[in-house]
Amino acid sequence: MNKPARGSLLSIEHLEEKEILGLLRLARRMNPLKARPLLRNKRIALLFYEASTRTRSSFEVAAKSMGAITVLVLSSGSSIEKGESLLDTGYTLRAVGADAIVIRHPSAGAPLMMAQHLDIPVINAGDGMHEHPSQALLDAFTILKHKKSFKGLQVAIIGDIYHSRVARSACHLLSKVGVKVSLCGPPELVPEFATTLAPGLRITRHIEEALRGADVIMLLRVQQERLAGKKIHLQDYMARYQMTMARLKLAKRDAIVMHPGPIIRGLELTSEVVDGPQSVIVDEVRNGVPTRMAILARALGKAS
Amino acid sequence: MLIKGGHVIDPAAQIDALMDVLLRDGLVAEIALPNKIRGGADEKFDARGLIVAPGFIDLHVHMREPGQSYKETIATGTAAAAVGGFTSVCTMPNTTPVVDSAELVAWLRHPERGAVVNVFPIAAATLNSRGAVLTDFGALHRAGAVAVTDDGKPILEDEIMRAALRLGAQLNLPVVQHAEDTRLTENASMNEGPTSFRLGLRGMSTAAEANIVDRDVTLAQQIRESRLHVAHLSTSDALKAVRRGKRAKARVTCEVTPHHFTLLDEDVGEYNTNFKMNPPLRSATDREAILVALADGTVDAIATDHAPHATHEKEVEFERAAFGITGLETALALAITKLHREHKIPLTRIVELFSAGPARVFDLRGRGSLARGSVADVTVFDPKKKWTFEASKSRSLSHNTPFDGWQFTGKVVATIVGGKTVYRAE
């Protein structure tokens, strides 16, 4: 085992505030349409053990726009199907000449383990229920675009926090930059010990309370495929926690509505909210590209 | 052999004094005040400054034979037991195949296995541990099984557990339960709490253990003469149920592992798979309750749940990694370092938890004491010796331990089985 290579991005929890702000500054300077070839001749392996649309395509576009060669390896159609271990897949990609690995994996901690056994940067593109650091960074980028500063902001995160790697990364990031965060949902999805994750978190079971005075509303999908024994009555959930135009009025007038996707219209939020003027959901996806350009530039040491 | 000048601690015989012990023909021939034993001995053991205790008994080990000899064999596992001061080990039946027949019990006990300490098999309680049809307890018992269990596949059906306790009662055979409501722990890989939440791992609730212990204790109270032994108890709530059973004079016993009285769930750190076991490491509240129960007599035995695994089964994603750690060579050192020195539990109580306590749990006649006529199983240890444990030097085939590099106080000096020295520290 070794320390992860410099430039790895494995979690937000273990990043310092100044590294987060540095990445956000770098992301602001990135323009996918007029990118400098910072990654020319670099080989980046995109190793995806789970389905992904947004994350995979934006990492790929980010890498290619800076001149990198990308190799996409999916768990189906590769030796992973034949039973190759995670570490052996990592060693193989390294031997092929990868300069960095972007990995999405259903098991929490898988990117860290890979980083502890390789000498190249590993970037976590989502690991199980653990973290999704590039999503938290692009969300922070989006918040800054609309709110100018983190100072004094109130954020409400509503929905299935238990199963959400996006929520964990967001909580760490927002807490580090001093934002107050309300977590909102039923106990099955927002356990009491969720507040121990980071300083400045509180829990409320009432969406009205979470929304009052909120500058930013982050909604999360109920991950029905991960519920495993937890029983959630969707009709009840929608009655208590669905984001509607009426509820949106409780938040600040200039509050923005965010969602990491995929969205389920009519479940955690109504179509009117998705398509409404306060929604920045599509903008988040767009911001994924410059944010991931910054992450890759930092990883491969050309972040000047 | 004459063990001279040692400090004998034999809780069953209420001895806690300087004594000489004479072993002859595999038995304790005499135990007397210093220099009172007359007659010669072919061999003398100078035990000055050392504790001389009844041979330690581990109620819960996985020796992996038959079928998983890449993890451990009876020869390597019992060699590790000897280093740890254990003169007897009770082996779990979750091997390949499952030990559910008298033939397999006999196979485990066969001299060809190369055991260097006593092996007492625990047999499966149901065929193939499927939880459906009880095994032939009588035949297993006659073949040498000291208890029955389905270990990692706990008996969840009330009717099957009731039937097992009834049949056990007829034969005076304990039913051992790994208490876990597996319906509540699907895909879970550690204790439920702040650490599992932080790491994004599914958690095992304390209720998943306590509910089963509670149910089992109730059954044990209802079924006359039945004997229930709770394996590797890890939660405060399960202890409450055990106390309830003991107060009601039900024949309920329990064991605790060294890792549960030493470590916490937060020690998992950043997905260290050598801290992954089942039951999982728990919260500080649970550990505190266990420490109290070890001191006050509620806990009957310290058992290691020695669970060796190969590197390729641990060096994988945390959620995919095998449950379990090795423990035979570090148990006494942890007990002395943590229980005795840190928590001020007397050495007499610690010796009881390793000897007289476990001997009572499984009725191992003639063991757990150094009274005259007992089997000559003796553990000699130095309670003040400082040393560092190195996993790479372990006698076990596997090295999956969280205690690599730990500094300990208290070390085994000699392990004597049936009057024969099977381990002697350099």
**Residues A115 and A240 placed together within one structural domain of the fold:** no
Residue in chain B closest to A132 (alpha carbons) equals B200
CATH number of B55-361: 3.20.20.140
Model-level pTM? 0.96
**Model pLDDT, residue A304:** 45
**Residues A195 and A243 placed together within one structural domain of the fold:** yes
> Which residue among the candidates B305, B377, B382, B404 is catalytic per the annotation?
B305
**Model pLDDT, residue A79:** 81
CB contact under 8 A, A165 and B200: yes
Beta pairing partners, B121: B91
A13: chain B residues, CB-CB within 8 Å: 198
**Percent share of chain B, pLDDT over 90:** 99
CB contact under 8 A, B271 and A196: no
**Model pLDDT, residue B326:** 98
A86: chain B residues, CB-CB within 8 Å: 316-317
Q: Is A172 on the interface with B (CB under 8 A)?
A: no
User: What is d(CA B333, CA B352) in angstroms, rounded to the nearest whole number?
Assistant: 15
How close B318 gets to chain A, by Cα (Å)? 7
Q: Is A165 on the interface with B (CB under 8 A)?
A: yes
pLDDT tens digits, one per residue of B240-299: 999 999 999 999 999 999 999 999 999 999 999 999 999 999 999 999 999 999 999 999
Catalytic: B136? no
Distances A63 to A7, A144, B116 between C-alpha atoms, Å:
15, 23, 61
Residue in chain B closest to A131 (alpha carbons) equals B200
Which residue intervals of chain B bear CATH 3.20.20.140? 55-361
CB contact under 8 A, A127 and B200: yes
**Residues A116 and A175 placed together within one structural domain of the fold:** no
B190: chain A residues, CB-CB within 8 Å: none
User: What is d(CA A217, CA B277) in angstroms, rounded to the nearest whole number?
Assistant: 39
Determine which of A11, A89, A113 to mutate to test the interface with B (most B C-beta atoms within 10 Å).
A113
Specify the length of chain A in residues: 304
Distances B339 to B52, B255, B258, B292, B361 between C-alpha atoms, Å:
19, 15, 9, 10, 21
CB contact under 8 A, B184 and A229: yes
**Residues A114 and A144 placed together within one structural domain of the fold:** no
How close B193 gets to chain A, by Cα (Å)? 6
Whether A5 is covered by a domain: the verdict is no
How close A32 gets to chain B, by Cα (Å)? 33
CB contact under 8 A, B202 and A129: yes
Sign of torsion over alpha carbons B271, B273, B279, B283: negative
Mean pLDDT per 10-residue run, chain A (304 residues)?
Answer: 95 97 97 91 96 94 96 86 91 97 98 97 98 98 96 97 97 97 96 96 98 98 76 89 97 97 94 98 96 97 58
Sign of torsion over alpha carbons B297, B298, B300, B303: negative
**Model pLDDT, residue A303:** 53
**Residues A206 and A245 placed together within one structural domain of the fold:** yes
**Residues A27 and A99 placed together within one structural domain of the fold:** yes
**Model pLDDT, residue B40:** 73
Q: Which residues of B touch A (CB under 8 A)?
A: 183-184, 186-187, 193-194, 197-202, 270-271, 312, 315-320
Q: Which CATH superfamily is domain B2-51+376-397+408-424 in?
A: Urease, subunit C, domain 1 (2.30.40.10)
pLDDT tens digits, one per residue of A60-108: 999 999 999 999 999 887 888 888 999 999 999 999 999 999 999 999 9
A113: chain B residues, CB-CB within 8 Å: 271, 316-318
Longest CA span, chain A: 56
Nearest CB to A107 within list B184, B186, B319: B319
Q: Is A12 on the interface with B (CB under 8 A)?
A: no
End-to-end CA distance of chain B: 19
Could you tell me the residue range of the domain that residue A46 belongs to?
17-132+288-299
User: What is d(CA B164, CA B175) in angstroms, rounded to the nearest whole number?
Assistant: 7
Distances A116 to A79, B103, B198 between C-alpha atoms, Å:
22, 46, 20
B205: chain A residues, CB-CB within 8 Å: none
- Number of structural domains chain A divides into: 2
Determine which of B189, B204, B317, B318 to mutate to test the interface with A (most A C-beta atoms within 10 Å).
B317
**Residues A123 and A159 placed together within one structural domain of the fold:** no
CB contact under 8 A, B317 and A197: no
Residue in chain B closest to A190 (alpha carbons) equals B197
Higher pLDDT, A53 or B145: B145
Q: Which CATH number goes with the domain that contains A153? A: 3.40.50.1370
**Residues A141 and A232 placed together within one structural domain of the fold:** yes
Determine which of B265, B271, B315 to mutate to test the interface with A (most A C-beta atoms within 10 Å).
B271
Whether A231 is covered by a domain: the verdict is yes
Enter the ipTM: 0.96
Query: What SS3 state is found at B333?
Result: helix
CB contact under 8 A, A197 and B198: yes
pLDDT > 70? residue B68: yes
**Residues A185 and A119 placed together within one structural domain of the fold:** no
Beta pairing partners, B378: B54, B416
**Residues A244 and A223 placed together within one structural domain of the fold:** yes
**Residues A121 and A221 placed together within one structural domain of the fold:** no
**Model pLDDT, residue A83:** 86
What's chain B's average pLDDT?
97
**Residues A202 and A124 placed together within one structural domain of the fold:** no
